[in-house]
Structure 1
Amino acid sequence: MAQVDRQQWDVVVVGAGGAGLRAAIEARERGARTAVVCKSLFGKAHTVMAEGGIAASMGNVNGHDNWQVHFRDTMRGGKFLGQWRMAELHAREAPDRVWELETWGALFDRTPDGRISQRNFGGHEYPRLAHVGDRTGLELIRTLQQKATALQQEDFAAYGDHEARLKVFQECTVTRVLKDGGRVAGAFCYERESGRFFVLEAPAVVLATGGIGKSFKTTSNSWEYTGDGHALALLAGAPLLNMEFVQFHPTGMVWPPSVKGILVTESVRGDGGVLRNSDGRRFMFDYVPDVFKDKYAQTEDEADRWYEDPDGNRRPPELLPRDEVARAINAEVKAGRGSPHGGVFLDVSTRMSPERVKRRLPSMYHQFKELADVDITAEPMEVGPTCHYVMGGVAVDSETAAAEGVPGLFAAGEVAGGMHGSNRLGGNSLSDLLVFGRRAGLHAAALAAAPGPRPRVSPEQVDAAAAEALAPFHAREGAENPYTLHQELQSAMNDLVGIIRREDEMAEALRRLASLRERAARAGVEGHRQFNPGWHLALDLRNMLLVSECVARAALERTESRGGHTREDCPAMERAWRPVNLLCRPVEPPPADPAADRIRLERVRTEPIRPDLLALFEKEELVKYLAEEELPE
């Protein structure tokens, strides 16, 4: 039996970004002894890269805004595939979560009369994003980190250092969710610096690990985003929902190489930035879908008037939902009207003074000036679509954030599916992680406090998890290099399951993934467990290959184009697909052949939208999107 340190907790939170910290704070305040495991340093989560703001219908800039309009925008943005109850709860509770942050010390930008300022963003009918310049995510993490630290100080004063009630295990990775029969019993972890294994035993585990972007070659995501939470849920027996929907943010830098993939926040376009092709033309007017014709400007003159009058209803087409803008940029590049390095031009300098740019977009200005010698106050940026966010994720209950089929497992933030449907609106990610991070922590603590015996972790599970983690050190002659495998995986996903998809290419991607799985089983590393990044990557490959198979298999199955899923061979959005969710489940028992399929697909129908919420939409819109049997009388 492996000698592994074991600790007893009530709730284990995997991930210390916005969702993880909000869940941990809620669980701790409900009395649960809470452990937080984060892959990087505490306070360095990828949430800090969220720049534009937190979407919440506070109505501070436009009094017409309310939760119903926010709900309507969210469902429209997701092409009506979102879990309507999650979208409703999100829209209703987001303002309270923003005001709560302010009471915890967040310093938001203000309106002239002193209220929290809100800015425009793509897909939102009114100015709705509470912001801190263009570094809102950093302020959110700073505030939550400060709140968590204050709770730790309270515990120290009450209990001393012998009984921590909120503890952060930084630079550690979870490789398995452990179970007792069908329910959660804890997590198997290791320290990245030393390689030391340890087990956190708990009846509730909250997954808050973020996204999957490191499976793609061009991505805005940081190194941690290897699909850990998605894979942990699958391996524990929970299904993943609608994994075909991957959002390609329309404006990631494509040049110079030093900043390739880094996002240019949507607030650049919200504050007046425009997209131009190589001819200098604002091309987005050509790509406004019919359903949005009454919402977005059709001429440059109309767009100019909108910028002068922020309360106007004719928004500039640069603020269409992200999937529409990304497809438009891709079309211009394919038509030969792109920038020299395969993107288009984003120009902010002709509509904003240098002083206004530096005041409204300080991080954007300094980042590109320092890293790439690009002065955005004087020259346009070269931008293009970059893998940014996955709408699919763990299938969860809308009210509790509990994962389907695995008692004790919860998920919140990007790792959870359902809230955003087929496409996420900018700014909804930060309010999503606050709303459902809190709900996950609340219900995880309630489950941990329920009467009855605690689940137990068997020694056999611990031994199996340790053996799995150590396997790369025992690879025989002919071992595969994990870095080479990762590069080939990224190329396959980027080229064959990217922003524009075709049946033959996705079938080829699945063949390549099968070959990579077989080779990854032979991935080998040298040296010791201490300070060994090759070993970390070898372990991450399991997760990336598993999640990539989910994305490719679901994308091949869905024979339509909707939101972040665009099929060149099936370009229309089909009403028959509207009420269909695709669930990815693990093949049971796991096949012995590493190249064999690991995922099976299941079609399930969505729950009909409640009539009072359907009444918020125009009849013509419902006829366009909903299936025949879903239409109201």
Structure 2
Amino acid sequence: MLQIMNIGITDVAVIGGGLAAMYAALEASNYDKSVVIISKKPVGRSGASVISKSVHRFPPDHLKEKLSYKNKIIEAGRYINNRDLVDTFVEHASQKMDNIEKLKVGLNFKEKLIDGKNHKYFAACKPKMGKHLTIPLSNIIKTKDNINIMEGYMAVQIVIERDTVCGILIENKNRLYFLGAKAVVIATGGGGYNYIQTSNTNDLTGDGYAMALRAGLPLIDMEFIQFYPYRTVYPFQHDIFPDIFSHGAKYLNEKGERFMDKYPKKELENRDILSREMFFQKEIYLNIEDCDKDFMKEECDDLYDNYLKYKGEQIKVSPVAHFMMGGVKINADTSTDVRGLFCCGEVAGGLHGANRLAGHALTETVVFGHIAGEESAHYAGSKTKISVNFVKEETANWVPNIGEESPTNIKNILRRNMWESAGIVRNEDDLQRAKDKVEELEQQIKNLKPLKLRDWIECQNMIQTSKMIIDSCILRKESRGAHYRSDFPEEDINWQRNIIIN
């Protein structure tokens, strides 16, 4: 059994290195609290944020517009969104985006005229690359004397005593450490790397979901995975800015047919519909011959450069696992059922319901990252001391001894299994096969003695996350939003509710 070394105490510990984690850490630091960020990869270069298109869509600060926006979110979520989270998002988004603008981190804002006054509604970097936002933000964080960064460290387990958080178990180079914390914010992002075809980076292994489960927290809406229908796979890999379909771009199948012609919004239909239609085609190609080239050069110059580089070649596209609508069940103030434990960003569930509107993922990090930072700081301020002496080696008795083996093959089998049997189109037989295979892999990982402990923990987290996804998919015997079952192809009013698993 591995020994655990105590490494100190902080007011607020933030787990993650992407936008939600950085916003939470920055906000908590503004209340003169000591903050520690624990991130597997370099802060500002972690998770989905850094490879995003940097696009933020949000409701203008106008009453009528907010009401309309709220209805669009709920309609996209097929009426099972957490209304408190939706209200919070809509009410605070514009103000929080104003706060981000003041940081001068490279976002360019667009406005539209409403009732004689200009209102912001959109923001992105130029060019539209997430790193042009995440890296400047990380540079600001590094100037804060009360924020310490632990890069290359992985949070393994939330340590709890009497339903109250008291710290985090952390791994680095096959060693375990305990960091005492008055408050903890989980901002680890999603788990898209569970699928072999994904836009996610390889650090998004469902760590936050698995830690939450080990802490006894419920997960909500885990069956809803958004498969992103806007990604080229050959001759170059690149996300596609969806707005180009309003300027002449289109998808064609192997027969040269525009298969989305039967839908009013064409390629701008809800992502679940578009991904499903793409799934049923043999091949899909992006045709941008008739696209407004001035618009492309202005709004997606990197895609335009690739278009020129590979001119004459067909640009093949495919849907990929992109975003998890489900996650840890939270309250509107980002608190959870464990006192002192908060969650924000993609790891939290409930805001989006059965599907997410385009451009809301990064705005979600702004709104709820700030709230998590503020609330965790206030909570930490109410605590005079925490328990740190009780942490024993038994706390991590589920962690294996070090050996010579690698779980890489188990990871790869798991990822293929999830794509083939719990992907875009699902049915009872495939889901049951997926469940059986995951249970088989779970037994294999239990008996494995890894050369690198982190690889084993990530694999364990992927298995736990996959089990929750599959169980939720099996339970929901209908099709709704991003969850499509060929054996239950219709939406059922009796299933206008959430599945909660713990």
TM-score of the pair, normalised by structure 2 = 0.92
The equivalences for 1:177-192 within 5 A come to 177-191=158-172
Match of 1:432? 364
User: 1:575 is matched by which residue type in structure 2?
Assistant: I
CA separation in 1, counterparts of 2:232 and 2:93?
A: 30
User: 2:154 is matched by which residue type in structure 1?
Assistant: T
Partner of residue 351 from structure 1, selected from 291, 309, 317 = 291
User: 2:270 is matched by which residue type in structure 1?
Assistant: P
For these two proteins, the number of residue pairs brought into alignment is 494
Gaps of 5+ in 1: 110-115, 120-125, 156-164, 289-295, 297-315, 527-531, 586-633
Match of 2:116? none
Match of 2:353? 421
Match of 1:604? none
The equivalences for 1:13-32 within 5 A come to 13-32=14-33
Q: Given that residues 502 and 568 in structure 1 are in contact (C-alpha distance below 8 angstroms), is that contact kept between their aligned partners in structure 2?
A: yes
CA separation in 2, counterparts of 1:395 and 1:247?
A: 18
The equivalences for 1:118-517 within 5 A come to 128-150=121-143, 152=144, 155=145, 165-191=146-172, 194-256=173-235, 259=237, 262-286=238-262, 288=263, 296=264, 316-331=265-280, 333=281, 338-339=282-283, 344-353=284-293, 355-366=294-305, 374-375=310-311, 380-398=314-332, 400-403=333-336, 405-460=337-392, 463-465=393-395, 468-469=398-399, 471-474=400-403, 481-517=406-442
Q: Given that residues 248 and 291 in structure 2 are in contact (C-alpha distance below 8 angstroms), is that contact kept between their aligned partners in structure 1?
A: yes
Other structure's SS at 2:351 match: coil
Shift of 1:441: 1.1
Other structure's SS at 2:436 match: helix
1:219 to 1:385, Cα distance in 2 relative to 1, 3 A: same
CA separation in 1, counterparts of 2:258 and 2:340?
A: 51
CA separation in 2, counterparts of 1:269 and 1:186?
A: 48
1:459 to 1:43, Cα distance in 2 relative to 1, 3 A: same
CA separation in 1, counterparts of 2:295 and 2:164?
A: 54
CA separation in 2, counterparts of 1:118 and 1:553?
A: 44
1:127 to 1:283, Cα distance in 2 relative to 1, 3 A: farther
CA separation in 2, counterparts of 1:3 and 1:412?
A: 28
1:492 to 1:3, Cα distance in 2 relative to 1, 3 A: closer
Q: Given that residues 179 and 457 in structure 1 are in contact (C-alpha distance below 8 angstroms), is that contact kept between their aligned partners in structure 2?
A: no
Shift of 1:564: 0.9
1:98 to 1:552, Cα distance in 2 relative to 1, 3 A: same
CA separation in 2, counterparts of 1:24 and 1:507?
A: 41
Q: Given that residues 182 and 385 in structure 2 are in contact (C-alpha distance below 8 angstroms), is that contact kept between their aligned partners in structure 1?
A: no
Q: Deviations over 1:127-170 (max 9, x none)?
A: 943222352532331342233233x1xx3xxxxxxxxx211111
User: 1:42 is matched by which residue type in structure 2?
Assistant: V
User: 1:231 is matched by which residue type in structure 2?
Assistant: A
Shift of 1:19: 0.5
Gaps of 5+ in 2: 113-118
User: 2:461 is matched by which residue type in structure 1?
Assistant: N
Shift of 1:465: 4.7
CA separation in 2, counterparts of 1:197 and 1:513?
A: 27
1:5 to 1:374, Cα distance in 2 relative to 1, 3 A: farther
CA separation in 1, counterparts of 2:296 and 2:431?
A: 42
Other structure's SS at 1:169 match: strand
CA separation in 2, counterparts of 1:78 and 1:103?
A: 32
User: 1:19 is matched by which residue type in structure 2?
Assistant: A
User: 1:401 is matched by which residue type in structure 2?
Assistant: T
Shift of 1:468: 4.3
CA separation in 2, counterparts of 1:491 and 1:23?
A: 34
Match of 2:456? 538
Q: Given that residues 243 and 554 in structure 1 are in contact (C-alpha distance below 8 angstroms), is that contact kept between their aligned partners in structure 2?
A: yes
Match of 1:591? none
User: 2:244 is matched by which residue type in structure 1?
Assistant: V
CA separation in 2, counterparts of 1:489 and 1:361?
A: 35
Match of 2:115? none
Shift of 1:3: 5.4
User: 1:583 is matched by which residue type in structure 2?
Assistant: I
1:213 to 1:70, Cα distance in 2 relative to 1, 3 A: same
Q: Given that residues 108 and 117 in structure 1 are in contact (C-alpha distance below 8 angstroms), is that contact kept between their aligned partners in structure 2?
A: no
CA separation in 2, counterparts of 1:552 and 1:543?
A: 14
Q: Given that residues 53 and 134 in structure 1 are in contact (C-alpha distance below 8 angstroms), is that contact kept between their aligned partners in structure 2?
A: no
User: 2:135 is matched by which residue type in structure 1?
Assistant: R
Other structure's SS at 1:434 match: helix
Q: Given that residues 325 and 346 in structure 2 are in contact (C-alpha distance below 8 angstroms), is that contact kept between their aligned partners in structure 1?
A: yes
Partner of residue 466 from structure 2, selected from 548, 557, 562 = 548
Match of 1:123? none
CA separation in 1, counterparts of 2:413 and 2:364?
A: 33
Instruction: State the Cα RMSD in Å.
Output: 2.4
Shift of 1:520: 0.7
CA separation in 1, counterparts of 2:126 and 2:314?
A: 20
CA separation in 2, counterparts of 1:134 and 1:89?
A: 30
1:547 to 1:368, Cα distance in 2 relative to 1, 3 A: farther
Shift of 1:85: 1.6
CA separation in 1, counterparts of 2:106 and 2:192?
A: 30
Identity of aligned residues (%): 26
Other structure's SS at 2:425 match: coil
User: 2:428 is matched by which residue type in structure 1?
Assistant: E
Flag the structure with larger Rg: 1
User: 2:296 is matched by which residue type in structure 1?
Assistant: V
The equivalences for 1:83-122 within 5 A come to 83-109=82-108, 116-117=109-110
User: 1:144 is matched by which residue type in structure 2?
Assistant: L
Q: Given that residues 178 and 457 in structure 1 are in contact (C-alpha distance below 8 angstroms), is that contact kept between their aligned partners in structure 2?
A: no
Other structure's SS at 2:274 match: helix
CA separation in 2, counterparts of 1:581 and 1:276?
A: 36
CA separation in 2, counterparts of 1:178 and 1:267?
A: 45
Shift of 1:501: 0.2
CA separation in 2, counterparts of 1:274 and 1:212?
A: 30
Match of 1:292? none
> Greater strand share, 1 or 2?
2
CA separation in 2, counterparts of 1:187 and 1:80?
A: 36
User: 1:552 is matched by which residue type in structure 2?
Assistant: I
